[in-house]
Protein backbone atom coordinates (compact mmCIF):
# COMPACT_ATOMS: atom_id res chain seq x y z
CA UNK A 1 0.00 0.00 0.00
CA UNK A 2 2.74 2.43 0.98
CA UNK A 3 4.77 1.45 -2.08
CA UNK A 4 1.76 2.08 -4.28
CA UNK A 5 1.26 5.48 -2.66
CA UNK A 6 4.86 6.42 -3.33
CA UNK A 7 4.61 5.16 -6.88
CA UNK A 8 1.45 7.14 -7.56
CA UNK A 9 2.86 10.31 -6.01
CA UNK A 10 6.01 9.98 -8.07
CA UNK A 11 3.96 9.39 -11.23
CA UNK A 12 1.91 12.46 -10.49
CA UNK A 13 5.12 14.44 -10.01
CA UNK A 14 4.19 15.68 -6.57
CA UNK A 15 6.05 15.74 -3.28
CA UNK A 16 5.12 12.92 -0.89
CA UNK A 17 3.69 15.28 1.70
CA UNK A 18 0.89 16.27 -0.62
CA UNK A 19 -0.06 12.68 -1.23
CA UNK A 20 -0.01 11.82 2.46
CA UNK A 21 -2.45 14.62 3.18
CA UNK A 22 -4.84 12.94 0.75
CA UNK A 23 -4.10 9.43 1.96
CA UNK A 24 -5.41 10.11 5.45
CA UNK A 25 -9.15 9.73 5.68
CA UNK A 26 -9.98 13.36 5.40
CA UNK A 27 -13.70 13.89 4.78
CA UNK A 28 -13.00 17.17 2.98
CA UNK A 29 -10.75 15.46 0.46
CA UNK A 30 -13.02 12.44 0.07
CA UNK A 31 -15.96 14.66 -0.78
CA UNK A 32 -13.83 16.83 -3.08
CA UNK A 33 -12.77 13.69 -4.91
CA UNK A 34 -16.35 12.43 -5.25
CA UNK A 35 -17.35 15.85 -6.57
CA UNK A 36 -14.43 15.88 -9.01
CA UNK A 37 -15.74 12.70 -10.65
CA UNK A 38 -18.92 14.61 -11.46
CA UNK A 39 -17.24 17.86 -12.53
CA UNK A 40 -16.67 16.94 -16.17
CA UNK A 41 -20.06 15.25 -16.90
CA UNK A 42 -21.86 18.06 -15.04
CA UNK A 43 -19.99 20.67 -17.08
CA UNK A 44 -18.56 22.43 -14.03
CA UNK A 45 -15.11 22.90 -15.60
CA UNK A 46 -14.23 26.03 -17.51
CA UNK A 47 -11.17 27.60 -19.01
CA UNK A 48 -9.92 31.05 -18.20
CA UNK A 49 -7.40 32.71 -20.50
CA UNK A 50 -4.39 34.84 -19.68
CA UNK A 51 -2.76 36.94 -22.39
CA UNK A 52 0.87 36.39 -23.33
CA UNK A 53 2.36 39.57 -24.78
CA UNK A 54 5.23 40.16 -27.14
CA UNK A 55 7.76 42.19 -25.15
CA UNK A 56 8.38 44.65 -27.95
CA UNK A 57 5.16 46.52 -28.56
CA UNK A 58 3.24 44.66 -25.85
CA UNK A 59 0.81 43.03 -28.25
CA UNK A 60 -1.05 39.92 -27.07
CA UNK A 61 0.05 37.02 -29.25
CA UNK A 62 -1.21 34.04 -27.26
CA UNK A 63 -3.63 32.99 -24.54
CA UNK A 64 -2.74 30.46 -21.86
CA UNK A 65 -5.74 28.28 -20.99
CA UNK A 66 -6.02 27.89 -17.22
CA UNK A 67 -8.48 25.41 -15.76
CA UNK A 68 -11.14 26.48 -13.26
CA UNK A 69 -13.77 24.39 -11.48
CA UNK A 70 -17.08 26.09 -10.84
CA UNK A 71 -18.10 23.99 -7.84
CA UNK A 72 -21.82 24.22 -6.96
CA UNK A 73 -21.07 24.87 -3.25
CA UNK A 74 -17.44 25.95 -2.99
CA UNK A 75 -17.57 28.43 -5.86
CA UNK A 76 -14.66 28.91 -8.24
CA UNK A 77 -11.86 26.47 -7.38
CA UNK A 78 -8.30 27.05 -8.65
CA UNK A 79 -6.21 24.25 -10.17
CA UNK A 80 -3.82 24.26 -7.20
CA UNK A 81 -6.64 22.74 -5.15
CA UNK A 82 -7.67 19.89 -7.45
CA UNK A 83 -5.09 19.15 -10.18
CA UNK A 84 -2.96 17.09 -7.75
CA UNK A 85 -6.02 15.02 -6.85
CA UNK A 86 -6.94 14.58 -10.52
CA UNK A 87 -3.39 13.43 -11.26
CA UNK A 88 -3.48 10.86 -8.46
CA UNK A 89 -6.83 9.33 -9.40
CA UNK A 90 -6.26 9.60 -13.14
CA UNK A 91 -9.13 12.00 -13.82
CA UNK A 92 -6.58 14.42 -15.31
CA UNK A 93 -6.59 12.21 -18.43
CA UNK A 94 -10.23 12.83 -19.48
CA UNK A 95 -10.11 16.35 -18.02
CA UNK A 96 -6.91 17.10 -19.95
CA UNK A 97 -8.48 15.82 -23.18
CA UNK A 98 -11.43 18.14 -22.60
CA UNK A 99 -9.06 21.08 -21.95
CA UNK A 100 -7.31 20.40 -25.27
CA UNK A 101 -10.57 20.24 -27.24
CA UNK A 102 -12.06 23.32 -25.58
CA UNK A 103 -8.90 25.46 -25.86
CA UNK A 104 -8.48 24.55 -29.55
CA UNK A 105 -12.16 25.26 -30.24
CA UNK A 106 -11.89 28.67 -28.57
CA UNK A 107 -8.64 29.60 -30.30
CA UNK A 108 -10.09 28.63 -33.68
CA UNK A 109 -13.13 30.83 -32.97
CA UNK A 110 -10.85 33.76 -32.07
CA UNK A 111 -9.02 33.63 -35.42
CA UNK A 112 -11.71 35.80 -37.05
CA UNK A 113 -11.12 38.53 -34.47
CA UNK A 114 -7.36 38.07 -34.01
CA UNK A 115 -5.69 36.09 -36.81
CA UNK A 116 -2.61 34.27 -35.62
CA UNK A 117 -3.53 34.23 -31.94
CA UNK A 118 -2.19 31.02 -30.47
CA UNK A 119 -3.26 29.09 -27.39
CA UNK A 120 -1.12 27.48 -24.69
CA UNK A 121 -2.34 24.34 -22.93
CA UNK A 122 -0.73 22.84 -19.81
CA UNK A 123 -0.12 19.10 -19.78
CA UNK A 124 0.49 16.92 -16.72
CA UNK A 125 3.13 14.21 -16.60
CA UNK A 126 0.25 11.80 -16.03
CA UNK A 127 -1.08 12.53 -19.53
CA UNK A 128 2.26 11.46 -20.99
CA UNK A 129 1.77 8.00 -19.53
CA UNK A 130 -1.10 7.54 -22.00
CA UNK A 131 0.29 6.22 -25.27
CA UNK A 132 -2.53 7.91 -27.20
CA UNK A 133 -1.64 11.47 -26.14
CA UNK A 134 -0.57 12.46 -29.70
CA UNK A 135 -3.93 11.09 -31.00
CA UNK A 136 -5.82 13.13 -28.42
CA UNK A 137 -3.96 16.26 -29.54
CA UNK A 138 -4.51 15.49 -33.22
CA UNK A 139 -8.24 14.98 -32.64
CA UNK A 140 -8.53 18.31 -30.82
CA UNK A 141 -6.82 20.05 -33.76
CA UNK A 142 -8.94 18.26 -36.34
CA UNK A 143 -12.30 18.82 -34.72
CA UNK A 144 -11.54 22.52 -34.15
CA UNK A 145 -9.78 23.20 -37.43
CA UNK A 146 -7.01 25.07 -35.56
CA UNK A 147 -3.63 25.14 -37.32
CA UNK A 148 -1.18 23.00 -35.36
CA UNK A 149 1.39 25.81 -35.13
CA UNK A 150 -1.18 27.86 -33.15
CA UNK A 151 -1.20 25.31 -30.32
CA UNK A 152 1.61 25.40 -27.74
CA UNK A 153 1.81 22.57 -25.23
CA UNK A 154 3.37 23.54 -21.91
CA UNK A 155 5.19 20.78 -20.09
CA UNK A 156 7.24 20.82 -16.91
CA UNK A 157 10.57 19.20 -16.21
CA UNK A 158 8.76 16.45 -14.26
CA UNK A 159 7.56 15.06 -17.61
CA UNK A 160 11.12 14.69 -18.80
CA UNK A 161 12.22 13.03 -15.56
CA UNK A 162 9.31 10.74 -14.72
CA UNK A 163 8.02 9.53 -18.08
CA UNK A 164 10.19 6.82 -19.65
CA UNK A 165 9.21 7.53 -23.28
CA UNK A 166 8.88 11.30 -22.92
CA UNK A 167 11.38 12.11 -25.67
CA UNK A 168 9.59 9.82 -28.12
CA UNK A 169 6.17 11.29 -27.29
CA UNK A 170 7.53 14.82 -27.61
CA UNK A 171 8.88 13.84 -31.02
CA UNK A 172 5.43 12.60 -32.05
CA UNK A 173 3.82 15.83 -30.82
CA UNK A 174 6.43 17.88 -32.65
CA UNK A 175 5.66 15.90 -35.82
CA UNK A 176 2.03 17.09 -35.57
CA UNK A 177 3.34 20.64 -35.96
CA UNK A 178 2.44 21.87 -32.47
CA UNK A 179 4.87 23.91 -30.37
CA UNK A 180 6.37 22.74 -27.11
CA UNK A 181 7.34 24.98 -24.24
CA UNK A 182 9.06 24.15 -20.96
CA UNK A 183 7.00 25.67 -18.11
CA UNK A 184 8.19 26.80 -14.66
CA UNK A 185 11.79 26.69 -15.86
CA UNK A 186 14.33 26.77 -13.06
CA UNK A 187 12.18 25.16 -10.38
CA UNK A 188 12.72 21.51 -11.29
CA UNK A 189 15.83 19.44 -11.62
CA UNK A 190 17.09 21.41 -14.58
CA UNK A 191 19.35 19.47 -16.83
CA UNK A 192 20.96 21.44 -19.59
CA UNK A 193 21.32 18.36 -21.77
CA UNK A 194 17.65 18.06 -22.73
CA UNK A 195 17.31 21.70 -23.70
CA UNK A 196 19.01 21.11 -27.02
CA UNK A 197 18.09 17.45 -27.46
CA UNK A 198 14.31 17.95 -27.36
CA UNK A 199 12.19 19.71 -29.99
CA UNK A 200 11.33 22.67 -27.75
CA UNK A 201 10.26 26.08 -29.06
CA UNK A 202 10.59 28.00 -25.87
CA UNK A 203 10.79 28.09 -22.12
CA UNK A 204 8.97 30.00 -19.44
CA UNK A 205 11.09 31.33 -16.61
CA UNK A 206 9.27 30.59 -13.37
CA UNK A 207 7.66 33.53 -11.65
CA UNK A 208 9.65 32.99 -8.45
CA UNK A 209 12.68 34.52 -10.23
CA UNK A 210 10.64 37.56 -11.31
CA UNK A 211 9.30 37.95 -7.78
CA UNK A 212 12.84 38.04 -6.39
CA UNK A 213 14.07 40.78 -8.74
CA UNK A 214 15.48 43.76 -6.88
CA UNK A 215 16.61 41.80 -3.83
CA UNK A 216 20.10 42.16 -2.42
CA UNK A 217 23.03 40.75 -4.40
CA UNK A 218 20.97 40.62 -7.58
CA UNK A 219 20.89 36.81 -7.64
CA UNK A 220 17.57 36.66 -9.51
CA UNK A 221 18.84 39.23 -12.02
CA UNK A 222 21.88 37.11 -12.77
CA UNK A 223 19.88 33.90 -13.06
CA UNK A 224 17.40 35.48 -15.47
CA UNK A 225 20.22 36.98 -17.51
CA UNK A 226 22.01 33.61 -17.71
CA UNK A 227 18.87 31.65 -18.60
CA UNK A 228 18.04 34.11 -21.38
CA UNK A 229 21.51 33.89 -22.83
CA UNK A 230 21.36 30.10 -22.73
CA UNK A 231 17.86 29.94 -24.24
CA UNK A 232 18.66 32.36 -27.04
CA UNK A 233 21.87 30.50 -27.83
CA UNK A 234 19.72 27.40 -28.34
CA UNK A 235 17.12 29.35 -30.39
CA UNK A 236 14.44 29.09 -27.73
CA UNK A 237 11.94 31.87 -27.08
CA UNK A 238 11.81 33.11 -23.51
CA UNK A 239 8.56 33.96 -21.72
CA UNK A 240 8.69 35.43 -18.24
CA UNK A 241 5.77 34.57 -15.97
CA UNK A 242 4.44 36.58 -13.06
CA UNK A 243 5.18 40.11 -14.31
CA UNK A 244 3.30 42.29 -11.81
CA UNK A 245 5.31 45.52 -11.94
CA UNK A 246 6.45 47.84 -14.68
CA UNK A 247 10.01 47.67 -13.31
CA UNK A 248 9.98 43.88 -13.79
CA UNK A 249 8.72 44.24 -17.37
CA UNK A 250 11.37 46.85 -18.06
CA UNK A 251 14.14 44.66 -16.71
CA UNK A 252 13.06 41.70 -18.84
CA UNK A 253 12.70 43.86 -21.95
CA UNK A 254 16.15 45.33 -21.46
CA UNK A 255 17.60 41.81 -21.39
CA UNK A 256 15.85 40.89 -24.62
CA UNK A 257 13.11 38.67 -23.18
CA UNK A 258 10.65 37.71 -25.92
CA UNK A 259 7.25 37.42 -24.18
CA UNK A 260 5.69 38.76 -21.00
CA UNK A 261 2.91 37.23 -18.92
CA UNK A 262 1.53 38.46 -15.63
CA UNK A 263 -1.04 40.51 -13.78
CA UNK A 264 0.54 43.78 -15.02
CA UNK A 265 -0.58 42.93 -18.56
CA UNK A 266 -3.68 40.84 -17.91
CA UNK A 267 -5.09 38.47 -15.33
CA UNK A 268 -6.59 35.11 -16.29
CA UNK A 269 -10.10 35.93 -17.53
CA UNK A 270 -13.23 34.05 -18.60
CA UNK A 271 -13.37 33.82 -22.41
CA UNK A 272 -15.91 36.64 -22.83
CA UNK A 273 -13.83 39.03 -20.68
CA UNK A 274 -10.65 38.00 -22.47
CA UNK A 275 -12.31 39.00 -25.75
CA UNK A 276 -13.39 42.37 -24.38
CA UNK A 277 -10.29 43.28 -22.41
CA UNK A 278 -7.44 41.63 -24.29
CA UNK A 279 -8.56 41.14 -27.90
CA UNK A 280 -10.89 44.06 -28.61
CA UNK A 281 -9.16 47.25 -27.48
CA UNK A 282 -6.79 49.09 -29.76
CA UNK A 283 -3.13 48.65 -28.71
CA UNK A 284 -3.16 52.16 -27.23
CA UNK A 285 -6.34 51.77 -25.18
CA UNK A 286 -5.19 48.36 -24.04
CA UNK A 287 -1.95 49.69 -22.65
CA UNK A 288 -3.43 52.47 -20.56
CA UNK A 289 -6.19 50.11 -19.47
CA UNK A 290 -3.80 47.51 -18.11
CA UNK A 291 -1.65 50.05 -16.26
CA UNK A 292 -4.70 51.49 -14.53
CA UNK A 293 -6.69 48.42 -13.67
CA UNK A 294 -4.07 45.85 -12.73
CA UNK A 295 -1.84 47.86 -10.41
CA UNK A 296 -1.57 45.81 -7.24
P1 LIG B 1 1.27 27.63 -14.70
O2 LIG B 1 1.05 26.86 -15.95
O3 LIG B 1 2.66 28.00 -14.37
O4 LIG B 1 0.32 28.91 -14.85
C5 LIG B 1 0.63 30.17 -14.34
C6 LIG B 1 -0.04 30.40 -13.01
O7 LIG B 1 0.42 31.66 -12.49
C8 LIG B 1 -1.56 30.54 -13.09
O9 LIG B 1 -2.13 30.06 -11.87
C10 LIG B 1 -1.74 32.04 -13.22
O11 LIG B 1 -3.02 32.48 -12.80
C12 LIG B 1 -0.67 32.53 -12.28
N13 LIG B 1 -0.20 33.88 -12.61
C14 LIG B 1 -0.13 34.47 -13.82
N15 LIG B 1 0.37 35.71 -13.74
C16 LIG B 1 0.63 35.93 -12.43
C17 LIG B 1 1.17 37.06 -11.70
O18 LIG B 1 1.51 38.11 -12.25
N19 LIG B 1 1.31 36.90 -10.36
C20 LIG B 1 0.95 35.76 -9.72
N21 LIG B 1 1.10 35.71 -8.40
N22 LIG B 1 0.43 34.68 -10.38
C23 LIG B 1 0.28 34.78 -11.71
P24 LIG B 1 -3.38 29.08 -11.87
O25 LIG B 1 -4.35 29.46 -12.94
O26 LIG B 1 -3.86 28.98 -10.47
O27 LIG B 1 -2.73 27.70 -12.30
C28 LIG B 1 -1.78 27.08 -11.48
C29 LIG B 1 -1.15 25.90 -12.17
O30 LIG B 1 -2.13 24.87 -12.40
C31 LIG B 1 -0.60 26.20 -13.55
O32 LIG B 1 0.66 26.83 -13.43
C33 LIG B 1 -0.53 24.82 -14.14
O34 LIG B 1 0.62 24.15 -13.71
C35 LIG B 1 -1.74 24.15 -13.53
N36 LIG B 1 -2.83 24.14 -14.52
C37 LIG B 1 -3.71 25.11 -14.84
N38 LIG B 1 -4.56 24.70 -15.80
C39 LIG B 1 -4.19 23.44 -16.11
C40 LIG B 1 -4.66 22.46 -17.05
O41 LIG B 1 -5.59 22.67 -17.85
N42 LIG B 1 -4.03 21.23 -17.05
C43 LIG B 1 -2.98 20.96 -16.23
N44 LIG B 1 -2.42 19.73 -16.29
N45 LIG B 1 -2.51 21.85 -15.35
C46 LIG B 1 -3.10 23.08 -15.29
MG1 LIG C 1 1.66 27.07 -17.81
MG1 LIG D 1 4.34 28.33 -15.27
MG1 LIG E 1 3.60 27.58 -12.28
- What lies within 8 Å, CB to CB, of 181 at 6+ separation is 120, 152, 153, 154, 155, 200, 201, 202, 203, 204, 237, 239
pLDDT at residue 292 above 50?
no
d(CA 80, CA 76): 12
Which atom of ligand 1 is closest in space to residue 78's alpha carbon? 26
Q: Are 239 and 253 in contact (CB under 8 A)?
A: no
Closest listed residue to residue 103, CA positions, set 55, 60, 154, 54: 154
Segment 21-43 shows an average pLDDT of: 82
How confident is the prediction for the chain on average, in pLDDT? 88
Query: Which amino acid residue places its CA nearest to atom 22 of ligand 1?
Result: 242
Tell me, what's the pLDDT at 12? 52
Distance (Å, whole) CA 261 – CA 281: 18
Give me the residues paired with residue 152 across strands: 120, 179
Per residue in 141-179, pLDDT tens? 999 999 999 999 999 988 888 888 899 999 999 999 999
Question: With 90 as the cut, is the pLDDT of residue 125 above it?
Answer: yes
Look at residue 15 and tell me whether its pLDDT is greater than 90.
no
Query: What is the pTM for the complete model shown?
Result: 0.88
| Ligand 1 pocket mutation pick from 53, 83, 99 by most atoms within 8 angstroms of CB | 83
- CA–CA separation, 36 and 177 (whole Å): 33
87 Cβ inside 6 Å of ligand 1: no
Predicted complex ipTM: 0.98
pLDDT surpassing 90 at residue 36: yes
Report the chain's terminal Cα–Cα distance, integer Å: 46
Give me ligand 4 centre to Cα 8, in Å. Answer: 21
pLDDT over 50 at 119, yes or no: yes
CA–CA distance, 144 with 103 (Å, rounded to integer): 9
- How much is the pLDDT for 16? 45
Is 83's C-beta closer than 6 angstroms to any atom of ligand 1? yes
**CB of 257 closer than 6 angstroms to any ligand 1 atom:** no
Amino acid sequence: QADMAMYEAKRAGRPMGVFNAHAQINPQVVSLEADLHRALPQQELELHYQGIYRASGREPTAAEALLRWRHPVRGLVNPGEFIGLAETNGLIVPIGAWVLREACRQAAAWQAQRPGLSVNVNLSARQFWQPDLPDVVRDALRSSGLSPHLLTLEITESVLLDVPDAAQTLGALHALGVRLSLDDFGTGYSSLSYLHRLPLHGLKIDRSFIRDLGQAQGVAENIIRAVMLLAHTLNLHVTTEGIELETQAGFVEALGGDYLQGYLLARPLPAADFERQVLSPSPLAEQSDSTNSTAL
